[in-house]
């Protein structure tokens, strides 16, 4: 396989993973998978939380695809796709766990407009401690903070209405 086709698969997979991660975060982690993800919306008391199991779960397809493409004789594109999944995981870890949640201490301060927007969007996501009413489920793209704040207010109003429909 041409390295250019492989790189195209890798970068297409990175982009596709943002869509996949958004959907998983919105509809699984804040849905039936809340029993694991809830730990991430609470104060952590040690180095790990139940939510960390998602990293293990999402690493399995990457490992299988890389192994299949390199050792099991599968289509060579499998390796590039598996590497794209792993690349997204590395970006996620660096952004989410290191930069935003500082699970590894550092002195980095977001200065670019992009990084400020992404960090603020994730903090607004954590403004809600339940599985309902959260905003901004992606990791590499986020709506402007003003839009997310409006959405949070709307979600809070809907929650109050559902609790007291009279």
For the chain, the maximum distance between any two Cα atoms, rounded to a whole number of angstroms, is 64
Question: Per the structure, how many domains does the chain have?
Answer: 1
- 58 neighbors 86 (Cβ within 8 angstroms): no
pLDDT of residue 164: 54
Sign of CA dihedral 5, 24, 150, 110: negative
pLDDT of residue 161: 43
Residues of the chain with pLDDT under 70: 157-166
* pLDDT per position as a tens digit, 36-74: 999 999 988 888 999 999 999 999 999 999 999 999 999
CA dist 154 and 160 (Å) reads 10
The boundaries of the domain holding residue 118 are 3-163
pLDDT of residue 111: 93
- Kindly provide the b/e burial profile for residues 130-154, where b requires at least 16 CB atoms within 10 angstroms of the residue's own CB: ebebbbbbbbbebeebeebeebbee
């Amino acid at each position: 396989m041409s390295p250019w086709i492989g790189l195209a698969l890798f970068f297409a997979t990175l982009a596709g993973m943002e869509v996949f991660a958004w959907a998983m975060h919105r509809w699984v982690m804040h849905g039936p998978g809340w029993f694991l993800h809830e730990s991430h919306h609470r104060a952590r008391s040690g180095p790990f939380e139940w939510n960390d199991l998602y990293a293990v779960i999402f690493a399995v397809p990457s490992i299988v695809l890389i192994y299949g493409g390199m050792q099991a004789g599968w289509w060579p594109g499998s390796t590039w796709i598996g590497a794209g999944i792993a690349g997204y995981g590395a970006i996620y870890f660096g952004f989410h766990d290191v930069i935003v949640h500082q699970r590894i201490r550092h002195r980095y301060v977001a200065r670019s407009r992009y990084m400020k927007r992404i960090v603020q969007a994730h903090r607004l996501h954590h403004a809600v401690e339940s599985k309902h009413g959260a905003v901004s489920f992606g990791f590499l793209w986020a709506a402007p903070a003003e839009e997310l704040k409006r959405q949070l207010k709307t979600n809070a109003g809907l929650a109050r209405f559902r609790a007291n429909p009279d």
